[in-house]
Chains A and B, each alone.
Chain A
Amino acid sequence: MSKRVGVEVSIALGDAVKMVNPDVIAAYPITPQTHIVEHLAELVAQGELDAEYVPVESEHSAMSACLGSAAAGARTFTATAGQGLELMHEVLYVASGMRLPIVMAVVNRALSAPLSVWGDHSDAMAVRDTGWIQIFTENGQEVVDQTICAFKIAEHHDVLFPVMVHLDGFHLSHVIEPIEMPDEKKVCEYLPANTNPFTLHPSKPIAMGDFAPPVVFTEAKWAQEKAMLGVKKVINEIWDEFAVKFGRTYKPVECYKCEGVKNVLVTMGSYSETAMTAVDNLREKGEDIGLIRIRLWRPFPFEELRAVLKGVENVIVLDRSISPGASGTVASEIKSAMYTEKEKPTVKSYIGGLGGRDITVEGFEDLIKDGISDRNEYNGIEFQMVGVRE
């Protein structure tokens, strides 16, 4: 077994990318993603990583360069955050529509205005409909593992979709954690070469990203969606294979102490670890509460969620972003997932942790207690803002 070392998560992410031996990295630095791309640029400059590092002039260009590189069959990586992800926005649809297996680390950051470099999930939610696979991570180890898995998922012939690996800005990206770096040889065995069936090559000319008139656009989109519907099966297989090889298990929806409980808290990302401690504390005091963490955000794990929510009466959801004029995005997704069920739980939407605001263990305990009480059950509000000063 490999040794655990204390390392900044961004650096570990860069080292994980080095292990998968990418051909092209095209990126633009933006807080809080900078350490990742600086580290990769250094590795390339020092000759430790034999890849083409393209220092582009914007995120729009970064993603565009990634399109070209992935279209040529190169293993392609980029990373961004917040506003950078937004500047890429239109190109993101092109990457998924063209089915290009690009891997991107998204260091989640709030969106301006007011300007914030700190973390929340506004950026991730704003791109949820771009056709990318979106995976959330909770700690440094998961960041490393999921970065490696992301390439295997993206490049699998039954997938061929770009993948975002989400990690929370600062709360994850800038902390030093004990991380077990996988053995490079084992990573090589786990991740075969990228063999995209359609690449730009003179021996077999094809045209990519062509226009589709109304007579075929619907068919093209349905073909894309059909492929997306098959993605989850492959992701599960890839994660199972990872568990066998590296000993760490991942699931689209993960449960913590939620067997037989009537109340669950749902979280996504690094705050889940704090939430876990809060659940531990409350369980010790005899409260009925479990925790559900959503790892796979797109494609959304409807079946898995319905399965773990069987018998649950009360779902308390923490969203780290707000859909203005509506509610928490994760909460509304869960509501829509449960709408068709005979036994529907109540779903209570809480929004907090915006723009890097901490939610402490006590904060989660208060949130859970509030969610368990029926104080806010039918009072006609769509969501509650956590920790806001009135």
Chain B
Amino acid sequence: MAKAEHELTWKDIEIGAVVTEPGNAAIYKTGDWRSQKPDYDFKRCIKCGVCYIFCPEACIHQNKAGFFEADFYYCKGCGICAYECPTRVITMREETEK
């Protein structure tokens, strides 16, 4: 992106506010919408990937050890992963003020 969003003037807006740069939704940080955060107890994880499938943000990835973790740049803290996990690996904890 040529300019950061907060630097765009009206002249930088394309006709009809179309977005000409594909894939720029990746820049948008949805992680700061979060008020709760998934916390993992991987001892119980069976690596089934159910959390990965259900995450509406598609922000869960498999780490080197094979466990499924959220990318906190995008994780909105909805708690669906915690609800769906069959072995209760995930606990939602209050996000602390930064």
* Binary CB contact string for chain B from 1 to 32 against chain A (1 if under 8 A, 0 otherwise): 00001101111111111111010000000000
Check B6–A99 contact: CB distance below 8 A.
no
* B8 and A205 contacting across the interface, CB-CB below 8 Å: no
Q: Which residues of A contact B11 (CB under 8 A)?
A: 223
Q: How far is the CA of A208 from the CA of B5 in the complex (A)?
A: 17
Does the CB pair B16–A160 fall under 8 Å?
A: yes
The interface residues of chain B lying within 8 Å CB-to-CB of A220 are 10, 13, 17
Of A99, A197, A207, A219, the residue contacting B8 (CB under 8 A) is: A219
Does chain B have a CB within 8 A of A213? yes
Contact between B15 and A219 (Cβ–Cβ < 8 Å)? no
- Judging by beta carbons under 8 Å apart, are A206 and B13 in contact? no
With CB as the reference atom, state the residue of chain A lying closest to B4. A215
**Residues of chain A within 8 A of B14, CB atoms compared:** 198
Question: Residues of B contacting A73 with CB < 8 Å?
Answer: none
Chain B residues, Cβ within 8 Å of A212: 17
Alpha-carbon separation in the docked complex, A220 to B17 (Å): 6
> What's the least CB distance linking A70 to chain B, in Å?
10
Please, which residues of chain A bring their CB within 8 A of the CB of B5? 213, 215-216
Choose among B8, B9, B13, B16 the residue that contacts A98 (Cβ–Cβ < 8 A). B16
Contacting residues, chain A, for B9 (C-beta < 8 A): 219
Chain A count of residues within 8 A CB distance of the other chain: 23
A336 vs B20: C-alpha distance in the bound complex, in angstroms?
A: 39
Q: Say yes or no for A100: interface residue by CB 8 A criterion.
A: yes
Question: What's the Cα separation between A98 and B13 when bound, in Å?
Answer: 12
Are B18 and A207 in contact (CB-based, < 8 A)?
Answer: yes
B15 contacts A99, C-beta separation under 8 Å: yes
Does A339 make an interface contact (CB < 8 A)? no
For chain A residues 317-357, which have a beta carbon within 8 Å of chain B? none
Q: Mark B22-54, 1 if CB is under 8 A from A, else 0.
A: 100000000000000000000000000000000
The interface residues of chain B lying within 8 Å CB-to-CB of A226 are 10
Do B15 and A197 touch across chains, with their CB atoms under 8 A apart? yes
Interface 1/0 per residue, A208-226 and B, CB below 8 Å? 1010110110011011101
Point out the residues of chain B lying under 8 angstroms from A160, CB to CB: 15-16
State which of B6, B10, B16 has its C-beta within 8 Å of the C-beta of A222.
B10
A99 to B11, CA, bound (A): 15
Residue of chain A at shortest CB distance from B20: A206
Using CB atoms, name the residue of chain B closest to A208.
B18
Residues of chain A within 8 A (CB-CB) of B10 are: 219-220, 222-223, 226
Contact of B13 among A197, A205, A208, A223 (CB under 8 A): A223
A99-B15, A198-B20 provided; 19 other pairs, C-beta below 8 A? A99-B16, A198-B14, A198-B15, A198-B16, A198-B18, A206-B20, A207-B18, A207-B19, A208-B18, A210-B19, A212-B17, A215-B5, A216-B5, A216-B8, A219-B12, A219-B13, A223-B11, A224-B17, A227-B15
A-B pairs, top 9 by smallest CB distance, nearest first, are: A99-B16, A207-B19, A223-B13, A222-B10, A223-B10, A219-B10, A98-B16, A220-B17, A206-B18
A-B contact pairs, 16 of them (CB 8 A): A97-B16, A98-B18, A160-B16, A198-B15, A198-B18, A205-B22, A206-B18, A207-B22, A208-B19, A210-B17, A210-B19, A212-B17, A219-B8, A219-B10, A222-B10, A226-B10
